[in-house]
Structure 1
């Protein structure tokens, strides 16, 4: 998640299509590449073109639609159209088909104007990809992000977690009828003895400077890696309470002067993980007129793949839960997790 405004706008109306969308009976391996902590779906269109679509739980889309850059539409054999919905108009694309065995799972429920994807304009913040599988598309399935194996799987409708898996609640905004109002999941971490509500964001992207890269020890490709975000006011609070927590000035290049802070330990469900680096973001990015507007609660940042990127995790949208494989490893003097 790098461009909040586009994501917030494009998810509007996602509550119209909240149910599971297919009759899948077995696990499906999605074609992907794994790069610097991010999954990119790589389906092959019948035209022969293979797009790179970042898999981003905090990303754009609505009503079962994924998102594509405008300049990619013709390469996929799609047709752009303007769709008139009750409250707004939006540019969509239809007519995309993929080669057998090399496509994406299909959302079979009715979609806006029968389209496949929503069109992203050039300023939508998608730089290293042709588009994204965002919140409005992902929410129609159960997804397993197997980070150690670098595989992305769609689970069948009757999927059940391993008995030893750790359950972490995901929360969504609901209307008075209990229907989901948006598809952005929130997750609560415990940090320094306090609950910290965050967007669950597999697409949270770092743009580390040389100093940031050296401190975090993260892989980066074309200047991009993974991170978690925290708003400036919470960053300042942590620093005031814990001056010993390391800070890197000018650690990220997306916004000039961005700092990084190293949190020694966070708790996710019953898993303790640390250390974890957070990238500073302006309070307004997650404020009541932006991200928090769509979350049904105030969120103060985003939990990215640097938190859970060494686990096999399953995002169970129908049951609003995150499941974490409880097998843990250590690396040198740094622990990845341990049971509480």
Structure 2
């Protein structure tokens, strides 16, 4: 864990400035492209190139898991049914698949702790499973120390695989039941806030379920505070296999200079944990959208990331972040393909050129 602090570098600030200066010869008025130009400047620093390269090989990666805390009826979905969400994404019938097909982006589902028979899902989906469901974090650890480390290393391995295979941007999301509860616990613990500040409606719970969720988060917070200094222990105590894997993925992606777009509150919570491990890592990430979860807003503020979109998307599963992809790709294309203006000729140069043309005509 300690190695990440030295392994993660910052994107090239000089190239970011060069990209910003270059717009002066590309568009008028200055600053006319607004957020698109700022995104292109960030991408130039991340890619280490001006003009930057178009984003042509993005990928959606969804980590899937069930969380034992869902047994407390803190979700509108029945505990242990995240496999239904995973199956839809595998079969291509989930909202994220509809958008991904339109954009030509592949979608990967990674089973980290689904509460179902592994035979019910394809082998390539269940290959990395750590356990069947995570523990009920209000009364027990989500994972053992060994399971947390295994999940974390899985995330690292997947980041390396995609960096090596030519993926140039990852949209990172989750498929979970009960996942917003451990996300809120992690955010409250790391930000030093009360449960009520970070507890949202998740899948659309009513007031009674919200109060049950607050109580579960407060109970889990008491278990989280003694391990705040050990981020892997924190992920094992009140996180889950998907959280540990996503955190490992985010950190290794930063090491490999692979940009990542965060989706909702779960990925935001993992980003917050990742920042504690390597403070420069958030420079390699973007926040795709505002999900409306108070915990997400708190976490993104702490890691200094502003959501690209705010369209009220709350379905999770990578949808909101994927909707931001066309903006990112358009920003890259503008930088890569806009022709630079020829500098205007000085008056003296114009007169000399005219004289040369007259001499040539007389000859």
Q: Which bin holds the TM-score, normalised by the shorter protein?
A: under 0.3
| TM-score (normalizing by structure 1) | 0.26
Normalised by the length of structure 2, the TM-score is 0.25
More strand by share: 1
Which structure shows the bigger proportion of residues in helix conformation?
2
